[in-house]
Structure formats: structure tokens, C-alpha cells
Amino acid sequence: MFLIIGTTIGAGYASGRELWEFFGHGSGLAIVMFIVFFSMSCYAIMMISHHYQATEYRPVLKEIVGKRLLPIYDVMVFLYLYTTTVVMLSGSGATGQAFNLPYWWGIAFIVIMLVVLFMRDISGVLSINQFILPILIIGLLYVLLTFTVDQKLNIFSHWREQYNWTAAFPFTALNILPLVAVLGAIGNKIVSKREILVASLGSGLILGVLTYIYNNSLIQIADEILLYEIPLFAILKSYPFQMVLFMTILLWFAIFTTAASGVLGITTRLLSYFKLPFWLLVFLILATMIPLTTLGFSTLISVLYPLYGLLNLYVLTRLLLFPIWNKMEK
């Protein structure tokens, strides 16, 4: 469950930038639809991954998109993981700047930490998600609920405005592709179908509630968001420095867990081609990403995320119809 949430809550999500690109005003119904779509998709991916006892994402992807489209989506998954990990490295640089540290220091720090993490192979990623994610979710909820109480916000004040309900489709589609890659690498570690059900429903509900409260807070500061690279800092501007510091550290951990998930998907895919130690392959992959971080954090998110959200709609459709086409094949 925390691996799923850790893959989804990255720099884009935790900073509020990704949510604002897709949701904003009139999106309450869209977020409810996202909970349903996301849970169904996670369930389908894990069922396939468990069935094949997969250790990398290709068998799972082949089952979802079919043999003909596999090469196209294989390249797309790889490019998605690669570019979003670049976004995470860039986000680490932007977070470092919040402490008046040079942009490159933030990037160098996350690269070193990722290499150290993967010295323990895949088990390092699983254990760090179980440790970091509860703290991150509780911290983010605390800040958002504090902001809601302080500003006397009504959580359901915009419920009658539902014109943006279609945002549920590209937003879910965007977040599904990395899950295919990450959950496809741990199929052999899933023990039972009950585990799959709990993980799917639990992660969908937690993300849905968090998304709704976060989006409601962002609506209140809509006029100020343009002034901030990271919208979360617009919410935190009137709070003590200690809270800003705490949330900045949590934001970096959100960046770190998603970068780790992306690197996991890429490395497990390339491992059969390169006979290198896991950590060394991780280092070489990260080294090729560093030059691309010069594009900037918000620019990367505003261009790449909506584009990937649209391209992944076919994958989402297949996953939502999984019970039907699975029965037909049987």
C-alpha cells in the first residue's frame, strides 16, 4: 500500500503543482471518480503481476496492452519513468533552493542517497516506503487541516461546481503508468489476493481524501499560485519557520520515494542487458539524467504530465475493463 502511495506522491503531487494542473475549481466529483478508477486499476495490475510472479514490468504490460502495442508502450513506460525521475531530481534542486542552497547541491544529494538506497537491492525501496510514507501522509494532512481550520474553510463549499469531472481520466491515467512498472517488479513478493484488495482500496482512499483536502486548500489561494514554483509554500507562507522547514523535509522525502520507484522500474528493465551490480547501474542511469534537470521543475511538470495523462488513457481503459476482458479470454 505504501509502495503504491510512494510511487504516486512525488514532487509534483506533494508540492501541489500536479494537482493544480489537473483539478482546481469544480473537481470534487473528479476526485471521487479518481478513487474508484485508481483502486480498480491497482487491483488489476497486482492481479496480473501476482499471476505471472513478475520481477519486471514487461509481462504485466503485455497482458494489459497486448502483443502488438507492447513495443510502443514499453518505450513509453521507459521514457515516462526516465523523464519523471528527472523531474524528481529537479524537484530536489528546487527544494534545496528553499534553504538558500545551490540548485546542484540538492541534485547531488538525492543522487548519492539513491545509490546508497539501492546498495540493498529492491528490499531497500520497500522498507523505506513503509518508514517514510506514514510520516509524510500525516504531516501533509496536518498542514492542510490546520490551514482549513485557520482559514475557516468549508470542505464542501464548492461541491455544487462539478464542471471539471473529466479531469479524473487523464489524472488517473498519468499515475497508473509508473505503477505498472513498479508493481510489475514485485509480483513475486505478493502473497495473497486479500493483500491485493487491501492495498488497492487502502491506497485509493488515502490518496483520494488527501487529494480532496489539498485541492480545496489550493482553491483558496488560486490567485497566489502563479507566484510560487511550489504551491505548498503559498499555503505555508503565514506559518512559523519550523513548520515550513518540517514540510520542506517531507516534500524532499516525497521526491525521494518517487525517484526511487522510477529508478527501480528502469533498473529492473535494463538489468538483463547489462551485467553490472544493481547500485552501479543506478548510478550510471542517474548520471545521464543530471544535464536534463536544467529545464526547471514547474516547466517539466506543466509540459510532460498532461501529455502523459492523455497518452495513457488506453492503458486506463484496459485496466478498468479488466474483469470483462479477463472473463472473455477465459
Phi and psi at 56, nearest 5°, equal: -150, 165
Residues with Cβ < 8 Å from 231, sequence gap 6 or more? 15, 16, 17, 20, 218, 221, 225
Q: 160: pLDDT confidence band, cut at 50, 70 and 90?
A: confident
Considering the chain, what is the average pLDDT of its residues? Answer: 84
**pLDDT for the residue 54:** 86
Cell of 104: 546542484
Q: 49: pLDDT confidence band, cut at 50, 70 and 90?
A: very high
Report the C-alpha dihedral over residues 68, 71, 73, 77, rounded to 10 degrees: 160
Cell of 79: 521514457
Percent residues over pLDDT 70 in the chain: 94
> pTM for the complete prediction?
0.81
**pLDDT for the residue 48:** 92
The two most distant CA atoms of the chain are separated, in Å, by: 59
Cell of 32: 471521487
Q: 158: pLDDT confidence band, cut at 50, 70 and 90?
A: low
**pLDDT for the residue 178:** 81
Which residue in 305, 308, 310 sits closest to 12, CA to CA?
A: 305
**pLDDT for the residue 287:** 92
- Residue 16 in contact with residue 254, Cβ under 8 Å? no
CA atoms within 13 A on the CB side of 47: 17
- Residue 30 in contact with residue 168, Cβ under 8 Å? yes
CB atoms closer than 10 angstroms to residue 275: 7
- Residue 129 in contact with residue 6, Cβ under 8 Å? yes
**Would the pLDDT of 307 be above 80?**
no
Give alpha helix (H) positions in 238-291.
Answer: 241-270, 278-289
The per-residue pLDDT for range 102-132, each reduced to its tens digit, is: 888 989 999 999 988 888 766 667 677 778 8
